[in-house]
Amino acid sequence: MHSDPIADLFTRIRNALMAGHKQVSLPSSKLKVAITDLLQREGYIEGFAVSEGPKPELTIDLKYYGQRRERRPVITHIQRVSSPGRRVYAGKGNIPWVLSGMGIAIMSTPKGVMTGEEARRSGMGGEVIGYVW
């Protein structure tokens, strides 16, 4: 039992990228699938798949650029902002900019999980889940 499954997702992605793995697998949930879908839409990962069964598993295909020895991960930094012990919320006027727009803020809003830019355009705030660049 993990007390913070989103931090576990980010840590597994970070560790797999540092080790140079092509895929990473972890237990699935609706929120993890929504975050992974957002990362795919924004171009940070190749894709993902959810296995069916009593304990569904989320498999994420990681994305790299460059050839062989110069191969670098697309995600250079992934960080959890809000945690179960300290929730971080941002109103529609305080949505954070990540690296002056070069990165994304992952937000949980009343209309679902979206980037900070999408939340800013739709005029709603929410919980800041994490930052990716």
pLDDT digits (tens, 9 = 90+) for 107-121: 999 999 999 999 999
Structure confidence by residue, pLDDT tens digits, 67-91? 988 999 999 999 999 999 999 999 9
Tell me the whole-structure pTM to 2 decimals: 0.95
> How many CB atoms lie under 10 A from the CB of residue 63?
17
49 forms beta bridges with 59
pLDDT score of 68: 84
DSSP assignment of 35-83, as one string? Answer: HHHHHHHTTSEEEEEE--SSS-EEEEEE-EESSGGG-EES---EEE--B
Q: Which helix (H) or strand (E) holds 86?
A: none
5-132 CATH = 3.30.1490.10
Structure confidence by residue, pLDDT tens digits, 5-17? 999 999 999 999 9
How far is residue 123's CA from residue 41's CA, in Å, rounded to a whole number? Answer: 21
2 has a pLDDT exceeding 90: no
pLDDT score of 61: 98
pLDDT score of 5: 96
Six-digit token pair at 9?
């997702």
Q: Return the half-sphere exposure (C-beta side, CA atoms, 13 A cut-off) of residue 127.
A: 14
42 has a pLDDT exceeding 80: yes
